Amino acid sequence: MFRKSSKDPQIDLFGGVSSFLTGKARKQFNDEKSWHNQFRTQIVSRMDETVFKVLFDEEMGAPNSSVSTLVGMMTLKEAFGWSDSKLYDQCRFDILTRSALGIFNINDEVPVESTYYLFRKRIYAYHRLHNIDLLKKTFTQITKGQIKEFNVNGRNIRMDSKLIGSNIAYFSRYEIIHHTLILFYKTLDESMLFLLPAAERKQLKELSEEEPLKTVYHTTREEIKSRMQSIGILVFKLVNLFTDKSSEQYQLLKRVFGEQYKVTENQQVELRPKEEIAADSVQSPHDPDSAYRHKGEQKVKGYSTNVTETASDDSLNLITDVNVKKANVADTTFVKPSIEATVEVTGQSVEKCYNDGAYQTPDNDEFCENIGMVYTGI
């Protein structure tokens, strides 16, 4: 059940942190310009928690923990690069972190770990199901309020992209196929397995007990190719046998098979040549959204992130859009959506945009005909 948290929590007469401090420490703690007070004022207190109402049942369940606190915790974790363990140490024992989250009393509890993980899981599941990023929606709303309050000039902007590697192991083709197959195999119960001939059940069991990295290390190229061919035939049978399954693991197995193999007219399974495998093929079954890109001297399996911000010399500048795509997506695809998102956030038309030559195409020139595009970089 959804419940909005109070923007003005009551400070306990005997438990308020500020009452325990004196002199310079108290002055610094209460300084409006201190980072913890700025974070609480500009992030936590500005949050429209109703954005996340869709994640909760309208009638059943206990009231939720403070959504603004949970989102604030997620933001601080990424901003400081904390582990989950470090995040909870800070939230429980560091008075500045607690103040940043709007927790003023020494005896106030932070949301427990299970609540924090469930909230993150719900955000992810909602994004996958509806293609709506609730966190991006929230920070867009926060930025709109800041632009209006501080009269930010959004007529001049700049954008740049950066390749970000996914936190995944660099798998070989054999490992990608093997790991994907075993992830699917683990979803099958006994009744499903007995739909397979005994020889194939045995093959699956042996593969599940194998360490594919060691196999690659100790096996010749030709032997690996032969093993991939054998696994491909098995995967082809599985994909066709369990067509009624709609699990993520089945869909991923079907995708990997299509990327790594092809079926001839007489229904023979063949391993695709490397040249036929697209850059947006699965790089790891543990992060199927990532892709491969070779940009200059940089090789990345992951994502391309485009950041757009206001670029005025005489006022505060704010990030207006963050757009994340697969690593193999060209920078040119970011121009139109990023400018449109910026106009939506600022409520102002863009007059000049600074970026580099990688963003220029005839289509972008046409879209930006009324915008001064400076392609010499920032």
Per-residue pLDDT, 377: 58
Percent pLDDT > 70 in the chain is 91
Q: Is residue 159 within 8 Å of residue 308, measured between CB atoms?
A: yes
Q: How many CB atoms lie within 10 A of CB 101?
A: 27
pLDDT at 14 over 70: no
For 113, phi and psi rounded to 5 degrees?
-60, -40
Residues 295 and 159 in one domain: yes
Residues 331 and 300 in one domain: yes
> Cα separation of 82 and 177, whole Å?
33
The confidence band for 221, taking pLDDT boundaries of 50, 70 and 90, is confident
Residues 308 and 217 in one domain: no
Per-residue pLDDT, 171: 76
**Is there a domain that residue 282 lies in?**
no
The confidence band for 92, taking pLDDT boundaries of 50, 70 and 90, is very high
> Cα separation of 36 and 96, whole Å?
6
Residues 307 and 367 in one domain: yes
Q: Indicate yes or no: pTM above 0.85.
A: no
Mean pLDDT for the stretch of residues 322-330 = 86
pLDDT at 213 over 60: yes
Furthest-apart CA atoms within the chain: distance in Å: 85
The confidence band for 245, taking pLDDT boundaries of 50, 70 and 90, is confident
Mean pLDDT for the stretch of residues 256-261 = 93
Tokens representing residue 315 in the block: 């006022």
**Is there a domain that residue 284 lies in?**
no
Residues 311 and 162 in one domain: yes
The confidence band for 298, taking pLDDT boundaries of 50, 70 and 90, is low
Strands (E), 220-340: 261-263, 269-271, 291-295, 298-310, 319-326
The confidence band for 296, taking pLDDT boundaries of 50, 70 and 90, is low
pLDDT at 279 over 80: no
Per-residue pLDDT, 13: 60
**Is there a domain that residue 11 lies in?**
no
234-to-29, 192, 213, 228, 268 alpha-carbon distances in Å: 64, 15, 20, 10, 12
Per-residue pLDDT, 244: 81
Count of domains for the chain:
3
Residue 325: give the domain boundaries. Answer: 154-166+291-374
**Is there a domain that residue 184 lies in?**
yes
353-to-35, 162, 360 alpha-carbon distances in Å: 31, 18, 12
Percent pLDDT > 90 in the chain is 62
- How do strand 291-295 and strand 298-310 relate by DSSP bridges? antiparallel
> Cα separation of 323 and 267, whole Å?
42
**Is there a domain that residue 160 lies in?**
yes
Q: Is residue 345 within 8 Å of residue 321, measured between CB atoms?
A: yes
> Cα separation of 323 and 138, whole Å?
15
Give 125-185 as a DSSP string.
HHHHHH---HHHHHHHHHHHHHHHHHT---SEEEEEEEEEE-SS----HHHHHHHHHHHHH
Q: Which of 25, 15, 220, 248 is nearest to 129 (CA)?
A: 248
Highest mean pLDDT pick, 61-70, 160-169, 205-214: 205-214
The residue ranking higher by pLDDT, 21 or 141, is: 141
pLDDT at 202 over 60: yes
Least confident of 155-159, 316-320, 358-362: 358-362
**Is there a domain that residue 8 lies in?**
no
End-of-domain residue from the set 233, 251, 276: 276
